[in-house]
A = this chain, B = another copy of it.
Amino acid sequence: MEEKIKVAILGATGFTGEKLVELLLKHPGVEIAYLGALLEKPTLYSKLFPKFEGKINLICELPKISEAVEKADIFFLALPHTISFKIAPSILKAKKKVIDLSADYRLKNSKIYEEYYKKKHQDKRNLKQAVYGLVEFLKEEIQKADLIANPGCYPISIILALAPLLKEDMVKLRIIVDSKSSVSGGGRKPLIDYHYLSVSNNIWAYKPFFHQHTPEIVEVLKYLSKKEAEITFIPHVVGIEAGIYSTIYVDFKKKIDTKGVFKLYQNYYRDAPFVRIKESLPKLKDVVRTNFCDIGFSLDGSGRKGVICSCIDNLMKGASGNAIQNMNVMYGFDETEGLL
């Protein structure tokens, strides 16, 4: 019998950490070996999350990195931004692998990182070798990587929808993206803004033009397609439990028909088990609690304007599910293992 991969989750009490535990418990090839979080005292994880009673019997504690590093083969860092780059170096030095769910290793251009995250980058050395964890486009790089920068939730929904069009040079480079997200993207924080009554039945746009995911989208799309798109990105919070729905407005360079666009997408994602190209515009609820990204589109009468809608569950394909998809590729598991 083969030995299971030992995984650690740092930040195990946040939304993405909790979801990682839930998913990894169902994964036949791994064993959760360590759980760390910002806790006052070590606590049985199933005490913190009663739904895991009988399923996991681990203590969760404030980790000493020097000790924690011994406990697993791969570390999921489900930490706030500007924390991961303090922790990842020690883990990598110990020859363990890291999948970082924060933004710390996503932007190759550390100046832009510092502009958007308001903090100096403290691990530029490893930043160079970090691979952007989008299996649909960077599978080979991910297979060989030791450090994965798991993408932001908005970028995943947007890059998957736009990359084929940009790579084929089919659209003009001024693109508008209107995204709607549940509050789960904001993390488990006791803020009045996340109070049930602040969120329920509400919608609001925020961080217009300057959301920190904008440069990530631009940089990655450029890396993938060699085109530098000008992305106008306005995210919105909506009073729902889960998911992101991105509506993307493009102008085609040439007149195009529906069938052509459909084929293009199908072709691009023929080997991508988690991308589903729809014949009509997708509905968010079809992807909630799955690792799928559903993409649909529509053209106007002229065949020159189009709208592409893509949706994901922001804790699954938008974070923890995608992180496990990366792990599967890194370790040679089937890409969908534990995710269907």
Residues in A lying within 8 Å of B, measured CB to CB: 15, 26, 50-51, 53-54, 176, 178, 180, 182-184, 188-192, 194-206, 208-209, 232, 234, 236, 238-243, 245, 247, 249, 276, 278, 281-290, 298-301, 305, 307, 309, 311, 340
- In the complex, what distance in Å separates the CA atom of A315 from the CA atom of B135? 34
As for how many copies of this chain the complex holds, the number is 4
Of the candidates B196, B208, B299, B340, the one whose C-beta lies within 8 Å of that of A196 is B196
Of the candidates B238, B243, B301, the one whose C-beta lies within 8 Å of that of A180 is B238
Question: Is A301 touching B238 in the complex (CB atoms < 8 A)?
Answer: no
- In the complex, what distance in Å separates the CA atom of A176 from the CA atom of B250? 10
A241 contacts across to B, CB distance below 8 A: 196-197, 200-201
- In the complex, what distance in Å separates the CA atom of A301 from the CA atom of B51? 29
- Chain A: interface secondary structure? mixed
Residue on B nearest A288 in the bound complex, by CB: B201
Question: Is B281 touching A204 in the complex (CB atoms < 8 A)?
Answer: yes
CB distance from A161 to the nearest CB of B (A): 13
A340 contacts across to B, CB distance below 8 A: 26
Residue on B nearest A26 in the bound complex, by CB: B340
Of the candidates B191, B234, B276, the one whose C-beta lies within 8 Å of that of A307 is B234
Question: Is A51 touching B286 in the complex (CB atoms < 8 A)?
Answer: yes
Can you name 8 extra interface pairs (CB under 8 A) apart from A178-B178, A200-B200, A289-B289?
A51-B290, A183-B197, A200-B241, A201-B285, A203-B243, A204-B282, A232-B307, A234-B249
A184 contacts across to B, CB distance below 8 A: 197
Residue on B nearest A193 in the bound complex, by CB: B190
Question: Is A300 touching B236 in the complex (CB atoms < 8 A)?
Answer: no
CB distance from A241 to the nearest CB of B (A): 5
- In the complex, what distance in Å separates the CA atom of A241 from the CA atom of B23? 23
CB distance from A37 to the nearest CB of B (A): 14
A238 contacts across to B, CB distance below 8 A: 180, 203, 238, 240
CB distance from A124 to the nearest CB of B (A): 26
Question: Is B203 touching A283 in the complex (CB atoms < 8 A)?
Answer: yes
Of the candidates B195, B236, B243, B290, the one whose C-beta lies within 8 Å of that of A188 is B195
Question: Is B195 touching A195 in the complex (CB atoms < 8 A)?
Answer: yes
A-B contact pairs, 24 of them (CB 8 A): A51-B290, A176-B176, A188-B192, A188-B197, A190-B190, A196-B241, A200-B240, A201-B285, A201-B288, A203-B243, A203-B283, A204-B245, A204-B284, A205-B245, A205-B247, A205-B309, A208-B300, A209-B300, A209-B307, A232-B249, A232-B300, A232-B307, A234-B307, A249-B249
Residue on B nearest A311 in the bound complex, by CB: B203
- In the complex, what distance in Å separates the CA atom of A51 from the CA atom of B199? 16
CB distance from A283 to the nearest CB of B (A): 4
A196 contacts across to B, CB distance below 8 A: 183, 194-196, 198-200, 239, 241
A190 contacts across to B, CB distance below 8 A: 190-192, 195
Question: Is A204 touching B283 in the complex (CB atoms < 8 A)?
Answer: yes
Question: Is B249 touching A50 in the complex (CB atoms < 8 A)?
Answer: no
CB distance from A147 to the nearest CB of B (A): 30
- In the complex, what distance in Å separates the CA atom of A287 from the CA atom of B194? 19
Question: Is A249 touching B286 in the complex (CB atoms < 8 A)?
Answer: no
Are A180 and B236 CB-contacts (below 8 A) given A192-B188, A201-B242?
Answer: yes
Of the candidates B194, B203, B205, B301, the one whose C-beta lies within 8 Å of that of A195 is B194
